[in-house]
Amino acid sequence: MRVDTKDERVSRSLGLALGVLLDAAWGDPRRGHPVALFGAWAAGVEQRLYADSVGRGVAHLGLTVTPVLALGVAAEWAGRRRPLLHTGLVAATTWAVLGARSLATEGVRMADALDAGDLHAARATLPSLCGRDPTALDAPELARATVESLAENTNDAVVCSLFWGAVAGIPGLVAHRAVNTLDAMVGHRTPRHGRFGAASARTDDTLAWLPARLTAALAALGAPLVGGSTAPTWATVARDAADHPSPNGGWCEAAWAGALGVRLGGTNTYGDRVEVRGTLGEPDAPRPGADAVRRAVRLSRWVTAAATVLAVGLARR
């Protein structure tokens, strides 16, 4: 097994930091987004391969992720002993897989719509944040969905990517983003994907296990920046995280609930599927509103900044 040289570790850490700055400056590419291209490729493979079978799902995971991982390995190899090239490749890949600016932008858009009392605009914004049916949601439920999405996606689209980029470079960045995209596409417990998407869902859960707990810890540390306190936030996480159906999502959402002092959880509708979640946060805490959404965005930005510092340090070790 090849050990990274000191120059490679330095260029990796610089590339991660530059990639975060690129995302902060420009957000997602407007056309030809690599994640969207991968999604189209994965959907095409699913059409040809689908069967109500765990084995077919494993094959789908392997056939879609392996080429992406191979490209990542090739890019990492191309930058070997070429620090400037390696820095640039890591930066470009980090920019492509992160979603921090887009997540914050949509959160602010939701808060603006809620402040204006424009439920039509708020409902139109929600699909860019999560897959829930917004048709019948009132303002507090739209705010709740937004806060929960900000919490979970700060982990999925920021902390996880930075963690795996620090640990495994470009292959780690692209492999995590590919698996997480597959989880969003086929990892739901629906009649079509309950068995077929099981491998993608479990792989994503495995990759996100440690980063989700790091996300919760960073949110607890940042709680005073949004009107909360660190110790009570962590107590909320310890008490409520297991009440969420996701082994990772509950950690993030409970941390945001505790830091913001709001009540999350409840009944979510995804098309024909209804999911009932436990309460996250104090039972007598208020439901979130526009102000809570804005503070949730600030907390997401703090966690992004803190995770970047940690990832840069980890990559240099």
pLDDT tens digits, 15-43: 999 999 999 999 987 777 899 999 999 99
- For the segment 249-270, the average pLDDT, to the nearest whole number, is 94
pLDDT of residue 3: 54
Query: Looking at 48-57, 129-138, 273-282, 299-308, which range is the least confident one?
Result: 273-282
pTM: 0.94
Q: Is residue 70 part of a domain?
A: yes
Confidence check: pLDDT of 163 > 60: yes
Confidence check: pLDDT of 125 > 90: yes
pLDDT of residue 32: 76
| pLDDT > 70 fraction of the chain, expressed in percent and rounded | 99
pLDDT of residue 2: 57
Q: How far apart are the first and last CA of the chain?
A: 17
pLDDT tens digits, 188-200: 888 899 999 999 9
Domain assignment of residue 257, given as a range: 6-316
Q: Is residue 185 part of a domain?
A: yes
pLDDT of residue 22: 97
Q: Is residue 1 part of a domain?
A: no
Using an 8 Å Cβ cutoff, are 46 and 124 in contact?
no
Q: Is residue 200 part of a domain?
A: yes
Q: Is residue 52 part of a domain?
A: yes
Q: Is residue 73 part of a domain?
A: yes
The confidence band for 278, taking pLDDT boundaries of 50, 70 and 90, is: confident
Q: Is residue 176 part of a domain?
A: yes
pLDDT of residue 33: 85
pLDDT tens digits, 50-94: 999 999 999 999 999 999 999 999 999 999 889 999 999 999 999
Confidence check: pLDDT of 253 > 60: yes
* Overall number of domains in the chain: 1
pLDDT tens digits, 199-237: 999 999 999 999 999 999 999 999 999 999 999 999 999
Q: Is residue 287 part of a domain?
A: yes
pLDDT of residue 251: 98
The confidence band for 269, taking pLDDT boundaries of 50, 70 and 90, is: confident
Q: Please, what is the average pLDDT of the chain? A: 95
